[in-house]
Structure 1
Amino acid sequence: MKRHPVIWGIFLLLILLIGFFSLIYGVTSITGMRDGFTTADKIGIAPIDGVIKDSTDVVKNLQEFGKDDSVKGVVLRINSPGGGVAPSQEIYEAVMELRKKKRVLVSMSSVAASGGYLIACAGEKIIANPGTLTGSVSAIMYFTNAEELMKKVGVKASTIKSGKYKDIGSPIREMTGEEKALLQGLVDDIYIQFLDVVVRNRRISEEALKQIADGRIFTGKQAQQLGLVDYLGDMEYAVRMLAKMVGISGEPVVVYPQKKYESMLDYFFERAGSTMAHVFFRDQTIPYGIHYLVDSYGLRMLAPAGMEQ
């Protein structure tokens, strides 16, 4: 029987279309973007993971959720011991801006302390697991002094500076009392800024807050008793609560930030690079400067075996 070229052309086109949509379906399954194709009202999930070193990606994700009319509310999923002061404050401000358009709840994972807790204060309500480690309302600066080590190995250093404070915090010499007082003033000011955020958003008096805002951490259960969090529950509990608040009936559709790739090769190379980076650079180094950051050594001592940050 003679093959009709038009029929075979249509048949081939259908095969190509099926293959194309199967590929799209597979990729969206991998990247978690499949729910983005639905037209139902959605709940956005904005993850904040690890030490906070930069705010760019999180702020961008929050802004995109704010522009998406199908996203009726956003859950911040925080799993962070804190980090840099400026990026923590930038994310906090981005959440406050998002709240002008959407309702925002916070779901705490394993850790939401220091800068992670500062960001959580921007949420309308905070939900923590009973065993979440949170709190650590404090600020800290790290410095290393290698002067004695340099003497032992016979290394000498010289400094030429334009002002007496130019090499403040230098690792080659001990700080003077005057320098320590100057840096203490910086840390105290950053600490007061943190207190202001908690007092303003959690409706806790400054006097009561100062009694517990000394760097200590709490479980989610303890934090609820102190007024630092509102409810105990997991992320699913937070999603259901938010869905009810925004009027979504039935099982809510959740969506995560969509990462854009220029090509499929970009996606696979990025995933391969991310896996290798996780293998070779599992420990996150802490840069110098002032931080809203729970003490990493103390957190490891309190954490269950196998937990990393």
Structure 2
Amino acid sequence: MPWPWRRKTRRTLARIAIEGPIAGGTRKRVLKAIQQVEQRECPALLLRIDSPGGTVGDSQEIHAALLRLRQKGCRVVASFGNISASGGVYIGVAAEKVVANPGTITGSIGVILRGNNISKLLKRLGVSFETVKSGLYKDILSPDRGLTEDERELLQNLIDSSYGQFVAAVAEGRGLPEKRVRAFADGRVFSGAQALELGLVDELGDEERARRLAAELAGLNPDRTRPTEFGAPPKRFAGLIPGRSRLRALVQGLSLELGWSGQPLWLWRP
């Protein structure tokens, strides 16, 4: 005989929010939340995405977990918020249905990899690196020198492979031919209204519309069903301090530039 909480949660609409850049911390939190949704046998999941994207591997792991959840019978609806670009799109196309606001910033399908060449600055400061390496490409994207042509070609092949994976996932998730996806998957961004015309989203609407759609797909009464939050990020008192959000955004941008240097990213960088 099943536990009483199991009978109850089988009628529960779950909600998971993905906000900000997608990296290791977000992956761990979201994967744990998805596991809880599966364990409690929730019939539907409202996935709220407000993210410019992030690292490739973390986005792929969340995408794969959502597909497994759907295979268990959970109906997944994605709601794109202010922005759902690049890796946010990759995660979103794992949903059965996607709802976006008319003015949502989305798209940016593609891959970016950046390094920091500060060789001129180091030279002015009288700083030089001594490098001992096991192979020709072991210090690729080292900040004390530029890329060679061979290195650039090697990295371009890496980017092309990651890009192909992205296009294939969008094509499969949205039921579009890869050729059609490649026609607009050049890094450009779209409004939600434009994304609807391209087939990236199913309909225009706010999170409330996405909630009702998820409930309807699961056979729940949308007028009586309210979402239960899973994996909510911890609230920080510092976030209440005036001007703190701007400082956090500045620090976050600097962290992305330095910490993710040399990594292939599914990230929109305006």
Alpha-carbon deviation of 1:248?
1.4
For the pair 1:82 / 2:53, whether they are aligned, the reply is: yes
Matched residue of 1:152: which SS? helix
The number of aligned residues is 251
Per-residue CA shift, 1:17-66, capped at 9, x if unaligned? xxxxxxxxxxxxxxxxxxx9x94722111101100012111011011011
Distance 1:211 1:258, change over 3 A: closer
Per-residue CA shift, 1:158-217, capped at 9, x if unaligned? 211111111000000111000010011101100000011011111211221111100001
Distance 1:62 1:158, change over 3 A: same
Instruction: Output aligned runs, 1:251-290, within 5 Å.
Output: 251-257=224-230, 271-272=236-237, 281-282=248-249, 283-284=251-252, 285-286=255-256, 287-288=260-261, 289-290=263-264
One-letter code of the match for 1:281? R
Residue identity over aligned pairs, in percent, reads 38
Distance 1:258 1:143, change over 3 A: closer
Per-residue CA shift, 1:240-297, capped at 9, x if unaligned? 111112121232121101669xxxxxx8xx74467688675333121121100011xx
Distance 1:258 1:145, change over 3 A: closer
Residue among 172, 194, 207 paired with 2:166 = 194
- The corresponding residue for 2:153 is 181
Matched residue of 2:71: which SS? coil
One-letter code of the match for 1:291? L
Structure 2 unpaired stretches of 5+: none
Distance 1:158 1:122, change over 3 A: same
Instruction: Output aligned runs, 1:238-257, within 5 Å.
Output: 238-249=210-221, 250-257=223-230
Matched residue of 1:99: which SS? helix
Per-residue CA shift, 1:104-138, capped at 9, x if unaligned? 01000011110000000100010000000111110
- The corresponding residue for 1:138 is 110
Supply the RMSD in Å over aligned alpha carbons. 2.2
Separation in 1, partners of 2:60, 2:240: 29
Structure 1 unpaired stretches of 5+: 1-35, 261-266, 299-309
Q: 2:16–2:231: 8 Å Cα contact kept in structure 1?
A: no
One-letter code of the match for 2:90? L
TM-score by length of 2: 0.87
For the pair 1:52 / 2:52, whether they are aligned, the reply is: no
Higher relative contact order (CA 8 A, sep 6+): 2
The structure with the larger Rg is 1
Instruction: Output aligned runs, 1:1-309, within 5 Å.
Output: 39=8, 41-54=11-24, 55-69=27-41, 71-101=42-72, 102-249=74-221, 250-257=223-230, 271-272=236-237, 281-282=248-249, 283-284=251-252, 285-286=255-256, 287-288=260-261, 289-295=263-269, 298=270
Matched residue of 2:116: which SS? coil
Separation in 2, partners of 1:63, 1:275: 31
Per-residue CA shift, 1:76-129, capped at 9, x if unaligned? 100000000000000000100111221001000011110000000100010000
